[in-house]
Structure 1
Amino acid sequence: MGAYRLLLAVLVAVSHMGKTLFGLNPGVVAVISFLLISGFVMTSLIERNYTSTEKIPLFYLDRALRLYPQFLLYFVASCAVIYYLLPGTPQAAELTFKTIAQGLAMLPLGFYMFGVGGTQILPAAWSLGLEVCFYLVIPFLIIFKARGVAFALSTVIFMVACLGYINTDVYGYRLLPGVLFIFLCGSYLYKPQGKGLAIALGTALVAALMFAAIMAGLIERRPFNAEVTAGIALDIPAVYLLTRLGYHRIDEFLGNISYGVFLNHFVVMYFLRAFWPVAYDAHIVAAVLILAFVLSGISYYFVEKPALKLRHALRAGRKYEVGPSQGGEPAV
């Protein structure tokens, strides 16, 4: 799934440069797929390495070692670019001790709508706060076999939000209660069996019908409800098929740089904006992506890969080198 994950990161980046696809925000559709992949990978990780409550703290440490190294690098880099090159901007206004501290904690980024965490230093990182919320609960849902109840409750919250009875954007896309069922669809795709596979594919079918109803005007279009339903309908079959594919070194390499691209494209955008404050035409979009790819390759090998060895040593209880099939799991 490496090439697919890199494509998702690119879609997030181009959406932040104001690009749409068939009138939809491609970044939102990509985030939905990241949630599904995360549900799949976390279920695999827990069932193979963290199958008891005593091991849950080790799971949290594993996740911190995954998320933080490149996040810290690009968060600090973004602060530096904003401070030195973009003074007097809304981004610069967020360079306060409180906002930076909340951002570094990562979890508050997922609650920016309540006035915490900030939105300007690394705007895409709000979904990392959502990821952290999922990491906090998924070991318990798997160990205590509570996925079914959580799926049902989350689906109800999403439906209420999608139909506009509560804030659609906040509760139907941003916060864990309304999107936990999307993570869990990915979870059900790990070792898919009759019931779990039926739940995931049935969810995709219902989402496709809801997307059609939204586009036809039968359900009022609200912030991102079309994108979220389209993402569920398209991404569940895509993730199911892609997880059936075998390992390929090029695919692994593309997946390895996807997290960096997801994190660093705003740093690149801010840097270029300081020197060429122009619209994002095709040339600027290409420049942003090329620089993001190069920086991500560097940060993967010098920042992410050492942490990857630590994570694998943590799981095995001993030190060993990273093999070709062990790299490149998704963060978002």
Structure 2
Amino acid sequence: MSRISRLRSAVFGSRPLSEALGRENGFGLLRLLLALSVIFAHAMPLGVRRGSIGAHWSRGQVELGGLAVAGFFVLSGFLITGSGTRLSPARFLWNRAIRILPGLWACLLVTAFVVAPIVAYREHLLDGFWTHPQGPWQYIVANWSIGTGQPGISGLLMHNADRGFNGSVWSLAYEVVCYLAVVSFAALGILHRARWAVLALVVALYCYMIHQAIDVPGLRAPIYIQTGLPEWRLPFLGPIGMEKLVPLGLLFGLGAVAELYKKKLRMNGIAALLSFALLVGSARYGGFYLIGLPALAYLLIWLACCMPRPLTKVGTKADLSYGVYIYAFPIQQCLALWHVQKHGYAVYTGASVVLALVAAALSWYLVEKPALKLKNIGLPRKGTGGTAGPPQPAREPAAALSV
């Protein structure tokens, strides 16, 4: 089939997701673009000290960073649920841990013992740096288990808009909550024998969101609308706010439903165009919380299916999206401390992107990729007698993005 024929089929044809999505897909590129979008979003408040991109245009409903987080949870829901249907619960948890924790631990060490001392030297606060009650050692102990127990180090970066060294990693805890839901459903057999229960949960979350947003003037509710529900404090994960868990859980759930019902969900270019129109229209005029988020979910999955073949190679051999996510924020904090932003938004953002990609590459080749070699240690695959499972549609993401 020629390129023109494939493009015509993607735009005007209608195929089940199970047929439209092959091993050559756009998940890798989409994840990397979402990670880079967060850098562009953070450059405004951290660097040039202006409002977030898109916040004014959408009248407070959404900004670029929040949109990137939303998209990443959709993709994560699709890919992680697929993993949950193929693997035993034990192997699922091990694979998730080995994908997230080594990179995070390395980032914590670099932040505490490389970045923070440099910042202390720049701020002339080396005296008492190591003995501070919230020093670098305490930073490691408080944050090693994914939850952000201590955002700052030794009182540094007090001048900046966000006092934490890595304000991006808050979403890891919410991602793990979604993982625990997937593994629980898998252990109970729901993913195979009662997938309707996942759909029912997503519908229930959506109904609750309607209840929350219906009284907001013009339906212009922000993504993280106040729910009035109590905050959870979970072991190792720390506080989990319902105002974030409800929409992020819905987005993850939409991706999960797409995976579970991929033989029935149709991929159609006209529907994707309509989703794009609904996404933009609701963001501008109201209703993004209820209309734009589901539209975003469909649009992203469609894009993953019809990505041009050369672009499907992104992320297949080196998945830099997680490294960009965990290193970009401290890099941007340091660039702001050295006043790189005085040269303009483009220079500051460009430097942030280049350095984040370099850090992500080092993280991938020195930490993440070697750690992934441990994935096959000693845990049998479910129902396979220890043999390899079916091919996966794309490399699973390490975690969702955050702002």
TM-score (norm 1): 0.74
CA distance, structure 2, for counterparts of residue 290 and residue 310 of structure 1:
30
Name the structure 2 match of 1:27: 65
Deviations 1:85-144 (A, max 9, x none): 1557xxx996587765443221457xxxxxxxx972321111111101101111233532
For residue 169 of structure 1, the aligned residue among 205, 224, 238 is 224
Write the distance in 2 (CA, Å) between the matches of 1:281 and 1:2: 27
User: Aligned pair 1:39/2:72, yes or no?
Assistant: no
Check conservation: 1:106, 1:129, Cα contact below 8 A: yes
Pairwise CA distance, 1:187: 1.4
Match of 2:359 among 278, 288, 295: 295
Using CA pairs below 8 Å that are at least 6 residues apart, which structure has the higher relative contact order? 2
* TM-score, length of structure 2 as denominator length: 0.63
Which protein is richer in helix relative to its size? 1
How many angstroms apart in 2 are the aligned matches of 1:254 and 1:8?
18
Aligned with residue 75 of structure 1, among 108, 116, 135: 108
Shift of the 59–130 alpha-carbon distance from structure 1 to 2, 3 Å rule, reads same
In the alignment, which residue of structure 1 is the partner of 2:253?
A: 184
Q: 8 Å contact 1:2–1:255 — kept in the other structure? A: no
Matching of residue 242 in structure 1 with residue 304 in structure 2: yes
Q: After superposition, what is the alpha-carbon deviation per residue over 1:190-236, rounded to whole angstroms, capped at 9, x for unaligned?
A: 26133x569xx99x97997587456335x6xxxxxx47853542342
Could you give the per-residue CA deviations for residues 41-93 of structure 1, whole angstroms, max 9, x where no partner exists? 1111111112xxxxx233222211111111112223223423541557xxx99
The CA distance in 1 between the partners of 2:222 and 2:118, in whole Å, is: 37
Amino acid across the alignment from 1:82: A
What is the rounded CA distance, in whole Å, between the counterparts of 1:6 and 1:184 in structure 2? 21
- Does the CA-based 8 Å contact 2:224-2:247 persist in structure 1? no
Which protein shows a greater Rg? 2
Q: Residues of 1 paired with 2:166 and 2:102: CA distance? A: 15
**Corresponding letter in the other structure for 2:169:** A
Are residue 5 (structure 1) and residue 56 (structure 2) matched? no
Cα distance, 1:241 vs structure 2: 3.7
Q: Does 1:48 align with 2:81?
A: no
Q: Against the structure 1 CA distance between its residues 316 and 85, is the aligned structure 2 distance closer, same or farther, given a 3 Å change threshold? A: same
The residue identity in structure 2 corresponding to 1:149 is A
Query: Quick one: structure 1 residues 14 and 25, their matched pair in 2 at CA, closer, same or farther if it must change by over 3 Å?
Result: same
Residue 233 of structure 1: which of 285, 290, 295 is its match? 295
Contact 2:29–2:311, Cα closer than 8 Å, also in 1: no
Shift in Å, 1:282? 0.5
Residue 310 (structure 1) aligned to one of 353, 358, 374: 374
Within-5 A mapping of 1:52-131? 56-80=89-113, 81-86=115-120, 95=135, 100-107=140-147, 120-131=164-175
Does the 8 A contact of 1:29 with 1:230 survive in 2?
no
Q: Which residue of 1 aligns with 2:335?
A: 272
Q: Give yes or no for contact 1:189–1:197 (8 Å, CA) kept in 2.
A: no
Partner of residue 158, structure 2: none
- Matched residue type, 1:239: I
5+ residue gaps, structure 1: 51-55, 110-117, 220-225
Greater displacement, 228-237 / 160-169: 160-169
Identity, in percent, stands at 22
Q: What one-letter code is carried by the residue in structure 2 that aligns with 1:68?
A: L
Moved more, 57-66 or 301-310: 57-66
Instruction: Decide whether aligned partners of structure 1 residues 155 and 227 sit closer, same or farther in structure 2, where only a CA change above 3 A counts.
Output: closer
The change in CA–CA distance for 1:256 and 1:76 in structure 2 (over 3 A counts) is same
**Mapped contact 1:28–1:227 kept (Cα < 8 A):** no
Whether the 8 Å CA contact 1:258–1:296 is kept in 2: the answer is yes
Residues 130 and 176 of structure 1 are in contact (CA less than 8 Å); yes or no, is this contact kept in structure 2?
yes
SS of the aligned residue for 1:65 comes to helix
Note if 1:147 corresponds to 2:198: yes
Greater alpha carbon shift after TM alignment, 20-29 vs 206-215: 206-215
Aligned partner letter, 2:95: D
User: What letter corresponds to residue 94 of structure 2 in structure 1?
Assistant: L
Give the count of matched residue pairs.
Answer: 304
Inter-CA distance 48–288: structure 2 relative to 1 (3 Å threshold)? same
